[in-house]
Amino acid sequence: MSSRHTKASGHRLRNRIAAASTAVLAAAGIAAGAVAVSGNGAQDAQADGGRAVLVGDSLPANPDLYNFAAGKGLPLPDAILSRTGCGTDNRFRDAIAGSNGQDVQNYTCAGASYRTGGAHVIDQVNQAAANGDINGATVYMLAGTNDTYPYVLNDKMPVPKIGSNLQASVADAVRAAKGAGAADVKVLGMPRITNDAGEVCAINLIPGVQVPTFGINVADIEWEMERAVSAGAVEGGGRFVSLKDASNGHDMCSDDRYIVGLIDTTSQRRNLPLHMTDEGHAVLGAFAGRA
């Protein structure tokens, strides 16, 4: 869909609906950071690097508050929506397209998962296939976080079991894409979250000072997810693209983190807490496109 810059005439309306939109966003389980209402350069019509499809969750979708609310049915002008009708800013899509010239169709949606809640990645793949976008195309998949923490927090499920379930669901999604004629399926891992000591910094208030958050240990989950997604990609007949090296030095406790904290006033520009910065989208989307 369009990634046009929002017209000035919509600014006043956006301010009026901001409070209502925040409530919608919170109910969906994600909280907005700084509001940003414009996409960055579209890569649609003149692409010459072949066709591609991007599927996944809020990490690649990256909606700001305005576009998220539009995807939930609010009639907002000049909204940026994915092919599934979900809010997005197209940054990750555009970074892929800018790196290799592909015409990338965006089917991402906040809240999506491989097997847990929201839209399932395999359903995004099937929708793209029904629209004629998969056959002969490269498919990029980026999801998985929503398939981990609910089972840790709610079910106390052992991390290896979470990983084996995720692996099977990734493999199913890859098989669906290959079965629909995808020329290549790239399953992307998560960027670096923890530092080398296994720490995260969820609260960042002082520039240049990151304090590890006591009592939070996500390293085991992070690396089990990497293993599971990698194994699922191979099992399904696709290939795995790790983002760990490309994001090395940009973990949540770094000065230039690609994944920001829950409360974070010192990060680079981003749309959402616990999601990627604009720089992270640009660097890692381009890396995925070249892989």
232-243 burial code (b ≥16 CB/10 A, e <16): bbeebebebbbb
How much is the pTM?
0.83
Q: What is the pLDDT of residue 22?
A: 30
Q: What is the pLDDT of residue 48?
A: 72
CATH number belonging to domain 8-290 = 3.40.50.1110
Q: What is the pLDDT of residue 9?
A: 37
Q: What is the pLDDT of residue 26?
A: 34
Q: What is the pLDDT of residue 123?
A: 98
Work out the angle at residue 99's Cα, subtended by the Cα atoms of residues 226 and 146, and round it to the nearest 5 degrees.
30
Sketch the domain layout of the chain as residue ranges: 8-290
250-274 burial code (b ≥16 CB/10 A, e <16): bbbbbeebbbbbeebeebbebbbbb
Distance between CA atoms of 29 and 31, rounded to whole angstroms?
Answer: 7
Q: What is the mean pLDDT of each run of 10 residues along the chain (291 residues)?
A: 38 36 33 33 54 98 94 94 96 98 98 95 98 98 95 92 98 98 98 94 93 86 97 98 98 96 94 95 98 96
> Which token pair is 63?
């909606």
For 89-123, write each residue's pLDDT tens digit: 999 999 999 999 999 999 999 999 999 999 999 99
